[in-house]
Structures are given as structure tokens and as C-alpha cells.
Structure 1
Amino acid sequence: MWEISTTERPRAFVLSHDGRDQSHVDLDDPIYLAFDYVRRMGDVVDAAAPSGQPLRVVHVGGAAMTLARYVAATRPTSAQVVLEPDVEVTELVRAELPLPRRSGIKVRPVDGASGVAALRDGQADLLVLDAYAEGQVPADLVTVAHFEKVARVLAPAGLYLLNLSDRAPFAHSRRVVAGLRAVFADIALGAETPTLRGRRGGNLLVLASRAPVPVAALRAQAARSPSPYKVLDAAQVSDSFGGGTPFG
């Protein structure tokens, strides 16, 4: 069951599903990102393009569309597509947490695999995978075949951002990384140090591109973050997350 609850901020709300918090949205301040991993996703947006420069973004997984709202607020006139198959949550969000007028955000009621397959070549500067089913990214979204479709949809220098939830020894993430390396030329990964050292599970933000990933810009963002985290370059990702067998 999807539910919306209030927070200590006047017009901020948390969207939850079966007791698990999924999204935090501040209707008065969409630039405010409450969840640590979402702030790191915002850092990726900021590294991808300067503030004010429009981006073409595709989001696989929508919920309350926190990151899409952030892009719309910081980069007006951005064209954004959200692929969200759960019509119930989209209707709830539209009714209770409406998007700003002329946000440029379009929601399509389709699953990630078929939605990405239907997109045009080179349509996106940034494609974000933040979709979960029973606590894990759907299996059809982490195969080499799907990554090839993502590569087709991205602009030549476009970025693919994946939000993975895992813990040491990172068996699932190693397989995802192996699949990405089969398709993309460069890769990077951001996570909190306790997660990387195996002290607890957490969110791993993986970036892949056919062009160089802006690691220096991401590290500068990480250094300014109120919640410290590390950014690994391709060699470090290989050292720490290598050895996996790709899905599909």
C-alpha cells in the first residue's frame, strides 16, 4: 500500500510503500533533497551540466519524482520522461503532491524495459535507473541486452546512472558492473565509506558512459557534501567490484 505522511517541514511529505520510505518531496523547495543517496544523485545531475543548462533526462522508476523535480527546478525547460508502471502511485502523487505547472515532466505508465526500448536513439543526456521490486532492481533491467538499449538511447556523451542497493561482498553489484563494462567505455561508482568497507549495506550509485565519466567533478561534489562519500574511478571500480559474470 502506498501512503503519504507529513514531516517537520511545512509542505514536505514522505511517500512510502508497505512501510518503506520511497521518496521525500518538499513542494516549496524541490531543491531540498532529504535522503542521502538522492543528494548524491543530485550531485550527478550537477556534474552532468551546469545549473540552468537544460538536460534531457529519462527516469526509470518514478514514485514521487523527487529527482525529476530537482532537475526541473535547477534546469528549467529540461525535457524529462518518467517511466513508472504503477498507475496507482502516479495517480496518488498527482493528486496529493502535484508537479509544478510547465515542469516539462511527462509520466508514461510503462515498465522500464519496454519504455526504454520505445525511446529514440540519442534521446537522453542522462538516464536514471531507480526502480525496485521487492527490494531489488528488476532482473530485466540489469542485463547486457538492456544496457545495449540504454546505450542506444543515450547521446554520445550521455550518462547512465544506476541506484543499486547492496552490501559486501557485493555479489549482485559485481554482476551489474560486469554487464556495464561489456557495453560502456567508462564507469565510476559512488558510495559511503562504511558501505564500501563492508560495515553495512547501502546505496551504490554507478555511472557508465561511452565517453569519459566526469569523475573529477563528481569528487568535487562529494567533497562539498554534508554526507561524505567516495567516488571510485574505473580502475578502482575494477579493483573493488571486478570479477562478476554479467546478467544475460
Structure 2
Amino acid sequence: MPDVDRPRGWLLTVDGAPQSYVDLDDPECLEFEYVRRIAYALEAGSAPGEPVAAVHLGGGGMTVPRWLAWARPGSRQDVVEADRRLAALVAEHLPLADPASVTVHTADARAWLATAAEASADAVVADVFGGARVPAHLTSVEFVRAARRVLRPGGVYVANVADAAPFAFLRSQLATVRAVFPAPAEICLLAEPGVLRGRRFGNAVLVASAAPLPVDALARLCAADAFPARVVHGAALDRFIGRARPVYDTSAAPSPTPPDGAFTVG
């Protein structure tokens, strides 16, 4: 059941897990660190201010679509949100400044991808959580293939996942993305050093593209953040993935349950 509270902006929680933070007066306000990393991946992928066609799998409070509409006027965006009650709540309490630029689809993310036009998006952002877990059918090679089919050549796939050491889920998700974006396509991982060192449960953002990734630009943006993150790429990413295997529909499972207090917001 979604709840809305307003300290400074709007904090949206779903089943007790912080889901989105929205400041209706300031679309540039990206309160959650992982949301800023998603924004960095989108910002570094093309010329500043250039409109893009983006698909957002998981709508939440529409934080990233709001930011993208502000940062890149004229962008065409599709938001896919399976929770009809959540979509209605957000439409009522957190209306978009320019609703004509964003089309909201109340549908399952994977089912919607199956009907979307091929090579129609510059970016696909996968940020779907059922409460605090990524549903199993959105963790497989088949799902990532469906997302890649919608991408234009050179488009970027961005996914938010959450895990903790020993990173069985995160490593398998990286192997899954690599199976769909094999070399010479590139993938990288954006995450806080504390998470990567196994000190706590946290979010990690996966970025993949058939075109060369702007790793240096991403590294600068992540390093300058109030909560700096590392960009893991190339040989270092190979070592991190290790012997992890891709996940297919036949073996897919939801992401791990966060420990109590993992996403507490003060």
C-alpha cells in the first residue's frame, strides 16, 4: 500500500520501502544517490540538452522522467508502471509539469516491452521493484533481450539493482546483461565504495550499450557527487563478475530481501 508524506518534498514509500522523492518545485532535486547515478548515465550518453526518447520501466514518483523533461526539453518518454493504484496516486498528488511529454502505461514491464516498437528508444531504464525486491521475471536474459530490442543502435540500457556481499545477485545480473551485450558492447557498474567493499546492503546501477560507454565522463560525475561512487569497468568488472552465470527464465528468482533498516530514510 503506497503512502505519501511531505517533509520538504514528497517521499513516496511502497510496502514500507522508500521508493521515490519528488520536489514538485525543483525537478533537478534528485535526493536518492542511485537516482542521481541513473541520471548521470542518461546525461553522459549524449550531447547536453539534446532531446531523447526514453523508456522507464517502473514509474514510482516519476522522479527521473521529471528530471529528464527538465534537463532535455522535447524528450519523448514512456513510463511503464504495473501498479494502477500507485500510478493514479502519483497522477493526483504529484502531477507532471508537462504531462504531454510523458505517456504512462499501466502494464507489466516485460509485457509492454513485447509490444513496443523495435529500435524506438535512446534509453531504457529498468527500475522495477515489487516492494523492495526486483520481480523474478525482470531479472533474466530474456527480459534484457526484450529491452535491447527496443533500443536504437548505440542506445543505453540502465538498470537499478540492490544487493550485499557476497553479491550473488549483482554478479549474476552483470553476467546476464553481458550475455545480451557481449563484446564489443560495453557494460559498467556504478556503486558506492562502501557497498562494493561489502560493508552494507545498497543499490548498484548497471549501464550497457552497443556503443562505447562514456566511462571517463561517468567517473567524473560520480566522483563529484555528494556521496561519491566508483565506476567499475573493463578488467576490474571482469574480476568482479568472476564465474557468475547469466540467469534465464527457467532459473530466475527475485532480488534478495533487504535487511531491516537497509533503506531507512531519516
CA contact (8 A) 2:80 2:104 kept: yes
The aligned amino acid for 2:175 is A
Instruction: List 4+ stretches of structure 1 deviating above 3 A.
Output: none
Q: CA deviation at 1:18?
A: 2.3
Give the structure 2 partner of residue 164 of structure 1. Answer: 161
The aligned amino acid for 1:35 is F
Give deviations 1:67-123, integer Å, cap 9, x for gaps: 010000110110000110101011101111111135511110111111111111111
TM-score (norm 2): 0.89
Give the structure 1 partner of residue 253 of structure 2. Answer: none
TM-score (norm 1): 0.95
**C-alpha distance in 1, partners of 2:176/2:15?**
31
Give the structure 1 partner of residue 118 of structure 2. Answer: 121
**C-alpha distance in 2, partners of 1:214/1:122?**
21
**C-alpha distance in 2, partners of 1:166/1:59?**
21
Give the structure 1 partner of residue 46 of structure 2. Answer: 49
Give the structure 2 partner of residue 173 of structure 1. Answer: 170
Give the structure 2 partner of residue 32 of structure 1. Answer: 29
**C-alpha distance in 2, partners of 1:72/1:51?**
13
Equivalences for residues 1-248 of structure 1 within 5 A: 1-7=1-7, 9=8, 12-184=9-181, 185-248=185-248
Q: CA deviation at 1:244?
A: 1.1
The aligned amino acid for 1:92 is L
Q: CA deviation at 1:134?
A: 4.2
Q: Taking CA–CA contacts closer than 8 Å with sequence separation of 6 or more, which of the two structures ends up with the larger relative contact order?
A: 2
Give deviations 1:98-155, integer Å, cap 9, x for gaps: 1113551111011111111111111111100101124221111121112212111111
Identity %: 40
Q: CA deviation at 1:242?
A: 2.6
CA contact (8 A) 1:54 1:76 kept: yes
CA contact (8 A) 1:175 1:245 kept: yes
Which deviates more from structure 2 when the two are superposed, residues 46-55 or residues 92-101? 46-55
**C-alpha distance in 1, partners of 2:55/2:135?**
17
Judged with a 3 Å threshold, the aligned counterparts in structure 2 of structure 1 residues 29 and 103 are, in CA distance, closer, same or farther, namely farther
The aligned amino acid for 1:239 is R
Gaps of 5+ in 1: none
Over aligned residue pairs, what C-alpha RMSD do you find? 1.2
The aligned amino acid for 2:199 is R
